Structure 1
Amino acid sequence: MLDAHGLSELTSTAELLATELLTNAHRHTPHEYALRVLEIGGRPRVAVRDQDWRVPPGFEEDAGPVDLDAERGRGLPLVRACSEGRGVSVPRDLGASRGGKLLWVDCGAVE
């Protein structure tokens, strides 16, 4: 898909970001979730929507040092390191009263 937009160099980064966001949704919400990939400003935007209103701790800001030997807790620091921007929005069809969110990240090149 990214090849069609001339963004093939960001495929690995987009796949990594999608995997981390989908894994978080799978592990932390019993509800359905879905992936969307868009092109925004010449960069891929990876978004995962679920029906849980809670934003994972550490998604938007640094949660401190990462234990490299831990089995969990490294995904969101990796997402922050590999993204050029990130955010949370509430899709209109989910509505704040029903819960739900869309976590999105703009892909950056992994150095």
Structure 2
Amino acid sequence: MVQGWAEVEQSTSYSTPAIKVRGKLMARLKEDGETLAIRATFQNREGLPQTQPAQPAVFSVPPHYGNSEMLVVYLPKVMPDLLRELLSHAWALAAPKTVLKNVSSG
């Protein structure tokens, strides 16, 4: 288990370090080593740049992620608490219902 999230495992994706929940991608370090592709809903993905006006370069959605629920986070500029919140949300999106049920009842 990674960071206290149930069923999370260290893995790789596109030959870069990644974290997955039962094999489903939660987040992966991009090739530049400074950005993290992270699972996010379309609603949250669109809302983040507007809710963080002091950090406009922190979040981006490259064209190749246009139709997927992924967001790119620039790690040197993101606040640690916000990154933890994003990762927790990504975990909840990637985790199977049985894992979510076990955590909420446990």
TM range (shorter): under 0.3
